[in-house]
Amino acid sequence: MVPAVSVKNLAVALAVGVVSFLAVAVTVTELLSTRIWPSAIVGLPVGVLAGLLGVGATYYLLSRETAQQ
């Protein structure tokens, strides 16, 4: 049986994903800007990956915590 989606958990996970996307994308783009001309081509996909991992991990951990209570 699939557990119900908690709106609070989803909102927190999405917020973590957006913040991690922005932080990683900007950091990688800035670090590579002196070495690679289109550094955003590398920074944005890495940021998307970090954001998706952040959303997944946060939602999983919050759901696990909620289920144990």
Q: Could you state, in order of their start, the residue ranges of all structural domains in the chain?
A: 7-68
**Which residue is listed with tokens 């900007």?**
26
Alpha helices in 1-69 (DSSP H): 7-32, 39-68
> b/e per residue, 29-45, with b = 16+ CB within 10 A?
beebeeeeeebbebbbe
Q: What is the pLDDT, as a whole number, of residue 6?
A: 84
**For every one of its 69 residues, what pLDDT tens digit does the chain have, with 9 covering 90 and above?**
456 678 899 999 999 999 999 999 999 999 999 998 899 999 999 999 999 999 999 999 998 877 776
Per-residue confidence (pLDDT) for residue 3, from 0 to 100: 62
